[in-house]
A and B are shown apart, each in its own frame.
Chain A
Amino acid sequence: MVMTQSPATLSVSPGQRATLSCRASQSVSSNLAWYQQKRGQAPRLLIYGASTRATGIPARFSGSGSGTEFTLTISSLQSEDFAIYYCQQYKKWPWTFGQGTKVEIK
Chain B
Amino acid sequence: EVRLVESGGVVVQPGGSLRLSCAASGFTFDDYAMHWVRQAPGKGLEWVSLISWDGSRTYYADSVKGRFTISRDNSKNSLYLDMNSLKPEDTALFYCAKDLDPFWSGSYGPFDSWGQGTLVTVSS
Most chain-B Cβ atoms within 10 A of its Cβ — which of A55, A91, A93? A93
Shortest Cβ distance from residue B59 to the other chain A in the assembled complex, whole angstroms:
5
Are B61 and A88 in contact, CB atoms less than 8 angstroms apart?
Answer: no
Q: Measured between alpha carbons, how far is A74 from B115 in the docked complex, in Å?
A: 25
Which residues of B sit under 8 angstroms from A92, Cβ to Cβ? 107
Q: Measured between alpha carbons, how far is A20 from B107 in the docked complex, in Å?
A: 25
Are A90 and B95 in contact, CB atoms less than 8 angstroms apart?
Answer: no
Are B107 and A45 in contact, CB atoms less than 8 angstroms apart?
Answer: no
Shortest Cβ distance from residue A101 to the other chain B in the assembled complex, whole angstroms:
10
Most chain-B Cβ atoms within 10 A of its Cβ — which of A31, A55, A86, A91? A31
Are B110 and A48 in contact, CB atoms less than 8 angstroms apart?
Answer: yes
Question: Which residue of A48, A86, A90 contacts B45 across the interface (Cβ within 8 Å)?
Answer: A86
> Which residues in chain B, 37-57, are within 8 Å of chain A measured between CB atoms?
37, 44-47, 50
Residues 85-124 of B, flagged 1 when their CB comes within 8 A of A and 0 if not, give 0000000000100001000000111111011110000000
18 more CB-based (< 8 A) A-B contacts, given A33-B110, A94-B59, A99-B44? A31-B109, A37-B45, A42-B95, A42-B116, A43-B114, A45-B100, A45-B110, A48-B100, A86-B45, A88-B109, A90-B110, A94-B62, A95-B50, A95-B108, A95-B109, A97-B44, A97-B46, A100-B44
